Amino acid sequence: MQLDQNPFFRKPIVPWYDTNFACWTIIILTIPVSAFAVTGIIAGYKVQAFHEHIWFPAFLGFLSLFLMVKTGLRLKKRLKTG
């Protein structure tokens, strides 16, 4: 008789990047990045020569907020099933 390779009483091994600590660290570290992006957008609007370069801090802010939301949803799902 073979041993069951996936017994139901074992908890699955969670990768390090999907732990609660890692999720909270990512969320906390993206907050200053978002603030930096907003500062870049404001500075770009103040100087006429920088108007064409506002897309870069806007894209940086979008990516950091997207990462924050995705990580928050992952954390919410983990805490709900946890």
Tell whether 60 is covered by a domain.
yes
Tell whether 9 is covered by a domain.
no
The confidence band for 5, taking pLDDT boundaries of 50, 70 and 90, is low
Task: Note down the domain range covering 60.
Answer: 19-81
* Cα–Cα distance measured from residue 1 to residue 59, given in angstroms and rounded to the nearest whole number: 57
Tell whether 8 is covered by a domain.
no
Classify 40 as helix, strand or coil.
Answer: helix
Tell whether 5 is covered by a domain.
no
When divided into structural domains, the chain yields a total of 1
pTM of the complete model beyond 0.85: no
Q: Which residue has the higher pLDDT, 47 or 79?
A: 47
Q: Tell me the two tokens of residue 5.
A: 């390779």
For residue 61, the one-letter residue type is: G
Tell whether 34 is covered by a domain.
yes
Give pLDDT tens digits for 25-55: 999 999 999 999 999 999 999 999 999 999 9
Tell whether 11 is covered by a domain.
no
**Do residues 43 and 50 make contact, with C-beta atoms less than 8 angstroms apart?**
yes
Tell whether 43 is covered by a domain.
yes
* Cα–Cα distance measured from residue 54 to residue 62, given in angstroms and rounded to the nearest whole number: 12
Tell whether 4 is covered by a domain.
no
The CB density around residue 16, as the number of other CB atoms within 10 Å, is 7
